[in-house]
Amino acid sequence: TIPLIIDTDPGVDDAFALALATRSPEVDLLGVTTVFGNVSIDHTTRNAQRLLALLGSTAPVARGADRALGEVHLPDARRVHGDDGLSGKALTLPENTRIDPRDAVEFLRDTIDSTTAPVTIAAIGPLTNIARLLETHAGRIGRLVIMGGGIAGGNVTPAAEFNLWSDADAAHRVFAERPVLVPIDLTRRCAVDGAWLESLTGEVGTTLESLTTRYREFYLEANGIDGILIHDAVAVAEAIKPGILTTCRHLLDVNTSDGDSRGAIVPGAFPVDVAEDTDVEALRAFLHQRLSS
Ligand code: BDR
Ligand code: CA
């Protein structure tokens, strides 16, 4: 099995990613660390706990950064994911739910140190926690799979994708760690439509579908399509089934200037394995099967 930690800011597509990991027999989910991003750290942490309860997972949740390394602005994706990050749907948080007493970075360090096999990290939010982890643990992560970046352009600004833009300094640091990068150029090609969502079955499948209300409206308003992008689930698919995406190595960096290009991917000195292609139909079928009971 693959020892895995997911660093996340749930978020509707993060919910699909967490569901995929907990429902995949090849994974040993060692924990979930949270980060600000789509909504505030309070919401993302609570959402991670609510989702793991829904998914029947006892993996620990450790709370992480509430803001970017050096920045003043906080991102805000409430218009995409709803005010609470999950389309305002009241998933229950069982009363006895505990939070790990350690900060996310401490949790990551302890878990990496105490696990014999190399730990894979799937980073599907802003990269603040991971950049901090690297202050002491550079070279000690098994595989680092990041959802983020736009090669041909962004989704939050014309140049930048949300996760890299939300903490460009952290992203720059993390690019030195030879990550696998799953950019929006590919995740956009892996959109799922209304029929795909509505045919998910089982408690988990139907609950996931119900969480997409606000998210689906957003895509309809913004792009005129009845379907959603499940960016983070595409990255987690690669984390748990290495090679399901086809990657190509490029030398890249992240723009950390204060201008309009902040958070953009630029040519640079860091080798990054960029996911560029996949069998989209097969990936959709794989996700559908895992997320339905
Ligand atoms: C990324 O930004 C977030 O809104 C999503 O959860 C995903 O991680 C896509 O750009
Ligand atoms: Ca995310």
Q: What is the pLDDT along the chain (293 residues), one digit of tens a residue?
A: 999 999 999 999 999 999 999 999 999 999 999 999 999 999 999 999 999 999 999 999 999 999 999 866 788 888 888 888 998 776 888 888 899 999 999 999 999 999 999 999 999 999 999 999 999 999 999 999 999 999 999 999 999 999 999 999 999 999 999 999 999 999 999 999 999 999 999 999 999 999 999 899 999 998 888 999 999 999 999 999 999 999 999 999 999 999 999 999 999 999 999 999 999 999 999 999 999 97
The rounded Å distance from CA 127 to ligand 1 centre is 12
Q: What is the reported pLDDT for 29?
A: 98
Q: What is the reported pLDDT for 93?
A: 86
Q: What is the reported pLDDT for 183?
A: 98
Q: What is the reported pLDDT for 72?
A: 63
Q: What is the reported pLDDT for 83?
A: 87
Q: What is the reported pLDDT for 92?
A: 83
Q: What is the reported pLDDT for 87?
A: 82
43 in active site: no
ipTM here: 0.99
Read off φ and ψ for residue 27, nearest 5 degrees: -115, 140
* 143 CB neighbour count, 10 Å cutoff: 18
Does the CB atom of residue 162 touch ligand 1 within 6 A?
A: yes
Q: What is the reported pLDDT for 210?
A: 94
What residue type is 271 in one-letter code?
Answer: P
Assign 181 to helix, strand or coil: strand
CA dist., res. 21 & res. 6, Å (int) = 9
CA-nearest of 218, 213, 117, 120 to 162 is 218
Q: Which of the following is catalytic: 43, 137, 231, 288?
A: 231
The rounded Å distance from CA 159 to ligand 1 centre is 15
For residue 10, give the ligand 1 atom closest to its CA: 6
Q: What is the reported pLDDT for 88?
A: 79
Two tokens at 270? 């860091």
Q: What is the reported pLDDT for 228?
A: 95
Neighbouring residues of the ion ligand 2, judged by CB less than 5 Å: 9, 11, 14, 124-125, 232
Q: What is the pTM of this model?
A: 0.97
Q: What is the reported pLDDT for 71?
A: 64
CA-nearest of 243, 244, 245, 251 to 271 is 251
The residue whose CA is least distant from atom 2 of ligand 1 is 162
Q: What is the reported pLDDT for 123?
A: 99
CA-nearest of 143, 137, 119, 142 to 173 is 137
Assign 26 to helix, strand or coil: coil
